[in-house]
Structure 1
């Protein structure tokens, strides 16, 4: 992208990667643009979740126009724009260039995606198992991050997704870890939400884990607690969650808190 012969795309760094991942992982809806049979782009609103590696996933009806479009041409675009107060163009948003792939329902991947999607979109349980509905994984092929005025970046798929080896290591234990957190560490989850993120007090629950963070929900409100570094397995997951709980309780000296 150039303006007056000058490239306006800025270099990626860890802070920008975290911002881009946060937009993707934190989204509950997005605008999906597919290609109709006449070649014209067709935009529609979809519910959104992510697989454990960060791949966006959607649940769509076979009766919807966009589903037919994806079957004919899997190329699509996904706009995530959470917005905020004031000028909508002043807030960060990200556009993903994706290729849709229908997920086999009864496969290991399909069962995991169904669980993770319904944890983020619980009301979708009313229709998720209807025979004409299907999950699609949207494989990321490119992206454009607009962080607000004069902030333009071009994240790669690797910038947006979790380390694949770390994701694979957590995939086997994520469901049990989420259940364990909710059953035995509800207090810590509440402290993560209120003291580390500044959310209101309530019965917060863990709804998902991945190498880069913990997802929590209270009613229809979802929050994400990013980890200070990618976790590579169950041991490092337990360690980071324990340190974050200590930080939330305020039991660490300031210097050690900043180092976590």
Structure 2
């Protein structure tokens, strides 16, 4: 299963994942979807003697896709990171059947504590129950600065990604980042019907109380009953005016599609 094709009489070596830009599928799109959509994953750190240590953590993302975590200094993985920030984080999609048939992404890099208010806001929007302990003195927010990624999209779908391919370039879209929180609050308060249309249009389950947890120049993140949906705009937006036009057009198309169906 893990070998390359060739003459049966010749020795065959293990298949190597292709760079994302050479993969015969949308490796970058799938990787970014996993980054945005998975709310918990396996964090691997290094003990002081170099022993690998894996644990389960909850995850959110910054506007550019940087993984965010809320960690307690009482936990072994946090003590490890404070000594050696090198780590990896596994984002795995679950579902029915063989777990290895579902896509997963491993991101390697360095995780350090961040005091950025946006990191706090985006994490708590994704994990509202964490507000109960986020301000405890032993807790802090950590950001994993990616160095590379390894994507397994299922059988015969593997690719490697660079930092630039994992993260979204925010250059020229600073206004969207700055206006995110206000837009999120407005959409949740006044446009729940549109959020439901966006979720259904992305293939997510209809009829759930979808709410917006974050948005960026490429798309928006929705959540309902612990389920997530990533909605990608038809094209990148760079300012709030373009964002509003895109959302209105998306809602209109979704309503028209429903009417025809």
TM-score by length of 2: 0.88
**2:145 equivalent to 1:177:** no
More deviation, 9-18/187-196: 9-18
**2:64 equivalent to 1:58:** no
What is aligned with 2:43? 32
User: Cα deviations across residues 137-160 of structure 1 (Å, max 9, x unaligned)?
Assistant: 000001100111211100111111
Q: Distance in 2 between matches of 1:11 and 1:69?
A: 31
**What does 1:195-234 align with in structure 2 at a 5 Å threshold?**
195-234=201-240
**2:129 equivalent to 1:123:** yes
Cα shift at 1:15:
2.2
What is aligned with 1:9? 17
Structure 1: tracts of 5 or more residues without a match: 105-109, 255-260
More deviation, 205-214/166-175: 166-175
Q: Distance in 2 between matches of 1:81 and 1:202?
A: 23
Cα shift at 1:251:
5.8
Cα shift at 1:214:
1.1
Cα shift at 1:183:
2.2
**What does 1:234-249 align with in structure 2 at a 5 Å threshold?**
234-249=240-255
Cα shift at 1:5:
4.9
Helix, strand or coil at the partner of 1:128: coil
Q: Distance in 1 between matches of 2:204 and 2:90?
A: 27
**2:175 equivalent to 1:164:** no
For the Cα contact (< 8 Å) 1:212–1:226, is it kept in 2? yes
Q: Distance in 2 between matches of 1:177 and 1:31?
A: 32
More deviation, 150-159/177-186: 177-186
Cα shift at 1:43:
0.1
TM-score by length of 1: 0.89
Q: Which of residues 61, 66, 78 in structure 1 aligns to 2:89?
A: 78
User: Cα deviations across residues 174-207 of structure 1 (Å, max 9, x unaligned)?
Assistant: 0011111122222111111234424131332111
Q: Distance in 2 between matches of 1:163 and 1:198?
A: 26
Q: 1:203 to 1:16 in 2, by over 3 A?
A: same
What is aligned with 1:187? 193
Runs in 1 of length 4+ with deviation above 6 angstroms? none
Q: How many corresponding residue pairs?
A: 249
What is aligned with 2:31? 20
More deviation, 39-48/218-227: 218-227
**What does 1:145-160 align with in structure 2 at a 5 Å threshold?**
145-160=151-166
More deviation, 234-243/35-44: 234-243
**What does 1:88-167 align with in structure 2 at a 5 Å threshold?**
88-104=99-115, 110-166=116-172
